[in-house]
Amino acid sequence: MTTTAPATATTSRAPGLSAVHHVAFTVPDLDEAVAFFTDVLGAETAYRTGPIATPGSDWMHRQLGVHPRATAHIAMLRLGLTLNLELFEYTGPGRRRKMPRNSDWGGHHLALWTDDFDACVRHLAATPGVRILGEPERVGEGPIRGTRWVYFTTPWGQHLELVHAPDRQPYQDHTDVRLYQPQAPHEGRGT
């Protein structure tokens, strides 16, 4: 007679998970993307590495979910005080070469905080290859009333968003959860 061990109880939360370490994007041209994020958006390059490849092995597929013969070049950037941004450029067979729309599965955008929304919009609008999508908006009602935002695309078509929000938002009246947002240097410092 065979007995089965009782199922082990699991928690609904991953143990020790406390923060986002980095966000990563695959880009068509790593040099172009690094230049955009550093020269236009003010990021700093922490390191670059590659090529990463494993000829004769399926490591790239097992570990990264890409074609076994794929090759990667990687750059890790620091953007602002809180974001580590990892950029990948892959070569190899089987790659889709089209950016997903925000509505596609896997669609995405990165929202960037600015202390000076209007000046940042003007800067981006004047940057060759950047396309501002529509007009900047201010949320008029709801949980994030007063938030200003606009989407824009990088020269290679990746969606980004520019955001600025007031210190106090209506959602805070209904929950103890607080969304992270930087404080402008003059706000909340007691000076």
Rounded distance, CA 58 to CA 51, Å? 16
* 109 and 178 assigned to the same domain: yes
* 132 and 84 assigned to the same domain: no
Boundary of a domain, candidates 93, 118, 145? 93
Which contiguous run of DSSP H or E holds residue 35?
Answer: helix 30-35
Range of the domain at 38: 20-93
* 88 and 107 assigned to the same domain: no
Asked whether 159 and 102 are in contact (CB, 8 A), the reply is yes
Rounded distance, CA 131 to CA 59, Å? 38
Tens place of pLDDT for every residue, the chain, 191 residues?
555 555 565 668 888 888 889 999 999 999 999 999 999 999 999 999 999 999 999 999 999 999 999 999 999 999 998 899 999 999 988 888 888 888 888 889 999 999 999 999 999 999 999 999 999 999 999 999 999 999 999 999 999 999 999 988 899 999 999 888 886 554 443 33
Measure Cα distances from 147 to 61, 101, 117, 171 in Å.
41, 23, 10, 12
* 135 and 60 assigned to the same domain: no
* 125 and 54 assigned to the same domain: no
